[in-house]
């Protein structure tokens, strides 16, 4: 009993020590953003806008994902003055003109007065972004990602090829060394430095170089952690993103995201989290992550209800194919959610 108590005290001490590393201003920012996202899940865009406004005004460099979601809330409310201000901030994150020509901004473009003002200010704002933009760094990261993907896309076909495995190991080591050099020279590559990751006019939660960090952690190499922690504490890296990578090092129940909700045979299964929920929430609190129930709500909203208008961190596992053993395991340890994958026929 004594050992259990000491263990619990250690977990609490470590959690609050970790939490202390994140400045109170950032903790408040994350809390407000979570409240805004929960309001979005409830379709309460007015409340969400209030939380977003308070959060964005709180820090020097709010994240593009949050600015974008705030802009969509303002459109839903037809508050195009706010849309104008937020859209201008997105330009400073690297969003180009074609980004604002997608359908969701249609009503904003119809507001001739504010759209004309946006168009007038755009060239200046674009120049301001390019002053900080490191083109060479962005190109280097792109080439590194291509080098990574060339090997990993080929890997499934080369499982028994020792020569390929050796070559893959050397490539991984080289890319890890190059990434380390980038951290030492430039620090964490922020949205201001290389621009927000945009694919087909959609903001992506993960940065362009996500695979470089992820593969390093999956290989049980943790050389990047100190640099990433510093980026979190200085507000350059979202805590959710860091923990998504760091969970490979933390192990155990971690932050509760691994296997939380799985998509299988046209359905969705929620883990029962038997006996681990309290510890998971302590771990999440230590990194200013939202409670696990809030994350579950966002995943259901984003994947199950299929509302992709907003950009939310909503990790989900996809189990390909079908077999009775997997289905039996999921039924024992998970709750079958009342949602189905659209245009999918169960086996």
CB-CB contact of 217 with 249 (8 Å)? yes
pLDDT digits (tens, 9 = 90+) for 57-103: 999 999 999 999 999 999 999 999 999 999 999 999 999 999 999 99
Domains in the chain, number: 3
Q: Please tell me the predicted confidence (pLDDT) of residue 4.
A: 43
CB-CB contact of 337 with 270 (8 Å)? yes
Residue closest to 91 by CA, chosen among 198, 232, 3, 233? 198
Domain that holds residue 225: 134-194+205-251
pLDDT at 3 over 80: no
Q: Please tell me the predicted confidence (pLDDT) of residue 249.
A: 82
Residues 288 and 167 in one domain: no
Confidence of residue 227 (pLDDT cuts 50, 70, 90): very high
Q: What is the CATH number of the domain that holds 35?
A: 1.25.40
In a domain, 63, yes or no: yes
The Cα–Cα gap between 7 and 26 comes to 29
In a domain, 150, yes or no: yes
CA pseudo-torsion sign 212, 214, 220, 221 = positive
pLDDT digits (tens, 9 = 90+) for 121-170: 999 999 999 999 999 999 999 999 999 998 888 777 777 778 878 888 88
Average of per-residue pLDDT across 165-184: 91
User: How many other C-beta atoms are found inside a 10 Å radius of the C-beta of residue 125?
Assistant: 17
Residues 85 and 145 in one domain: no
Residues 294 and 330 in one domain: yes
The Cα–Cα gap between 314 and 296 comes to 8
Poorest-pLDDT segment among 141-145, 220-224, 256-260: 220-224
The Cα–Cα gap between 90 and 99 comes to 10
Residues 239 and 262 in one domain: no
Residues 144 and 99 in one domain: no
Look at residues 235, 251, 267 and tell me which one is the last residue of a structural domain.
Answer: 251
In a domain, 121, yes or no: yes
Environment class of 156 (CB within 10 Å of its CB; exposed 0-12, middle 13-18, buried 19+): exposed
Instruction: Kindly report each contact of residues 81-86 with a partner whose C-beta sits within 8 Å and lies 24 or more positions away, as own/partner.
Output: 81/114, 82/49, 82/53, 83/108, 83/111, 83/114, 84/108, 84/114, 84/117, 84/118, 86/56
Residue closest to 230 by CA, chosen among 292, 169, 197, 188? 188
CA pseudo-torsion sign 15, 20, 188, 311 = positive
In a domain, 199, yes or no: no
In a domain, 146, yes or no: yes
**Phi and psi, residue 295, nearest 5°:** -65, -40
Average of per-residue pLDDT across 258-266: 91
CB-CB contact of 186 with 137 (8 Å)? yes
Look at residues 90, 109, 131 and tell me which one is the last residue of a structural domain.
Answer: 131
Confidence of residue 7 (pLDDT cuts 50, 70, 90): very low
In a domain, 230, yes or no: yes
Look at residues 90, 111, 131 and tell me which one is the last residue of a structural domain.
Answer: 131
In a domain, 107, yes or no: yes
The Cα–Cα gap between 25 and 59 comes to 7
The Cα–Cα gap between 345 and 251 comes to 35
Residue closest to 204 by CA, chosen among 101, 297, 308? 308
In a domain, 284, yes or no: yes
Tokens of 286: 């230590």
Residues 213 and 267 in one domain: no
User: In angstroms, how far is CA 245 from the centroid of its own chain?
Assistant: 10
Residues 227 and 279 in one domain: no
Residues 179 and 244 in one domain: yes
pLDDT digits (tens, 9 = 90+) for 292-328: 999 999 999 998 877 789 999 999 999 988 888 999 9
Higher pLDDT, 329 or 154: 329
pTM over 0.85: yes
- The whole-chain average pLDDT of the chain stands at 90
Confidence of residue 54 (pLDDT cuts 50, 70, 90): very high
DSSP class of residue 299?
A: H
Residues 79 and 19 in one domain: yes
């Amino acid at each position: 009993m004594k050992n259990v108590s000491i263990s619990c005290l250690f977990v609490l001490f470590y959690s609050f020590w970790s939490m202390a590393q994140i400045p109170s201003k950032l903790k408040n920012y994350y809390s407000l953003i979570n409240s805004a996202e929960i309001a979005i899940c409830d379709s309460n865009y007015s409340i969400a806008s209030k939380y977003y406004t308070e959060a964005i005004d709180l820090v020097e460099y709010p994240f593009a994902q949050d600015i974008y979601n705030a802009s969509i809330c303002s459109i839903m409310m037809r508050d195009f003055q706010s849309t104008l201000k937020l859209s201008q901030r997105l330009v400073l994150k690297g969003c180009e003109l074609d980004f604002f020509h997608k359908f969701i901004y249609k009503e904003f473009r119809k507001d001739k007065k504010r759209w004309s003002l946006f168009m007038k200010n755009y060239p200046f704002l674009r120049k301001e972004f390019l002053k900080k933009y490191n083109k060479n760094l962005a190109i280097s990261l792109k080439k590194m990602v291509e080098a990574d993907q060339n090997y990993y896309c080929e890997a499934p076909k080369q499982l028994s090829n020792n020569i390929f495995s050796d070559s893959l190991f050397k490539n991984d080591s080289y890319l890890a060394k190059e990434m380390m050099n980038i951290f030492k020279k430039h620090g964490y590559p922020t949205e201001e430095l290389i621009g927000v990751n945009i694919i087909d006019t959609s903001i992506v939660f993960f940065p362009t170089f996500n695979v470089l960090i992820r593969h390093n952690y999956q290989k049980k190499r943790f050389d990047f952690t100190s640099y990433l922690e510093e980026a979190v504490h200085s507000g350059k890296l979202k805590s959710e993103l860091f923990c998504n990578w760091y969970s490979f090092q933390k192990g155990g129940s971690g932050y509760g995201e691994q296997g939380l909700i799985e998509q299988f045979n046209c359905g969705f299964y929620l883990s029962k989290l038997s006996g681990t929920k309290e510890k998971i929430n302590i771990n999440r609190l230590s990194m200013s992550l939202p409670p696990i129930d809030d994350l579950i709500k966002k995943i259901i909203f984003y994947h199950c209800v299929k509302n992709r208008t907003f950009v939310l961190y909503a990790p989900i596992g996809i189990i390909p194919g079908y077999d009775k053993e997997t289905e039996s395991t999921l039924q024992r340890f998970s709750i079958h959610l009342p949602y189905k994958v659209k245009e999918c026929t169960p086996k």
